[in-house]
Amino acid sequence: MTDAAISRALAALAAKGVTDPIHALIVLGTGLSAFADGLEGATAVPYADLPGFPAAGVSGHAGRFVVGVAEGLRVAVMQGRAHYYETGDAAAMAVPLGLAKSLGAREAILTNASGSCDPALRPGSIALLSDHVNFSGRNPLIGAAGDDRFVPMDDAYDARLRERMARASKACGVPAREAVYMWFSGPSFETKAEVRAARVLGADLVGMSTAPETILARRIGLRVVALSMVTNFASGVSGGAPTHAETKIVAAEGAASMRRLLSAYLDLSRREEGRP
């Protein structure tokens, strides 16, 4: 079913003249959609026109698939993602990721908004995910067939791409500390006790996306690098009492930094991988 939807989505893109290979899929999280506005020669397709794509639901998400050139590299950008909490389907991003792979993408660059469990990792900062914790009991590959469902996750967040992102961070002056992300289903925010538990389990950040996408991406051989916009202290951390409104405002304020960092990263990628 996923494969059929990917073929139909590919045909829908081809009908709009989008056929050239892409280097990467970039997924923009809550409040971070602006990056796509800077693409050259862009074609934007509403998710509604792409079979298997999520219905645009969460406010702060534009719901468009935009293909164009950034820093000389052809990329596809998702303005908004599907979250598990919208449908109860942890594999809701399988078609967009599969489509990107079919278009030739080698990597998925995931961004999100998150809450910080660490008083030293303050709202407004950007973190580079080094790993995740998925103790939700949910996995996008439950029910999948074949031995390739047993996806190795020891290298979930690619070491080489992380190292490149760290250099991009230095080059553009946007700091991005490494952090471990813990996936909660949402849509309710965490309790204070859950955030204390997350910290004990090794997490620096909590959020409602990314981990299932990383699992799906790794299954199809896309390398993953992920950035998190810290929008708030998680419940109980330094008085944190998160709201969706606050999340959207702080993410929008940080969108310019995120954009600079993504551009610096793509610039390095083009120079080091030497293909358009």
Q: Which residues bind ligand HPA (CB under 6 A)?
A: 113-115, 184, 189-190, 206-208, 231-232, 234, 242, 247
User: Could you tell me which residues are beta bridge partners of residue 226?
Assistant: 110
Shortest Å, Cβ 177 to ligand HPA: 17
DSSP result, 100-119: HHHTT--EEEEEEEEEESST
Q: Please, what is the minimum distance in Å from the beta carbon of residue 261 to ligand HPA?
A: 18
Name the β-bridge partners of 183.
207
Q: Which tokens sit at 269?
A: 């990628």
CB closer to ligand HPA, 141 vs 182: 182
Taking alpha carbons only, the member of 126, 119, 139 closest to residue 199 is: 119
Smaller CB separation from ligand HPA, 207 or 212: 207
Name which of 144 and 249 has its Cβ closer to ligand HPA.
249
CB 135, min distance to ligand HPA, A: 14
Shorter beta-carbon distance to ligand HPA: residue 64 or 83:
83
Comparison of 118 and 190: residue with beta carbon closer to ligand HPA: 190
Round to the nearest angstrom and report the end-to-end CA distance of the chain.
32
Nearest to 176 by CA among 118, 115, 261: 261
Tell me how far, at minimum, the Cβ of 21 lies from ligand HPA, in Å.
Answer: 33
Query: 80-107 as b/e, with b when 16 or more CB fall inside 10 Å?
Result: bbbbbebeeebbbbbbbbbbbbbbebbb
Smallest separation, CB 253 to ligand HPA (Å):
13
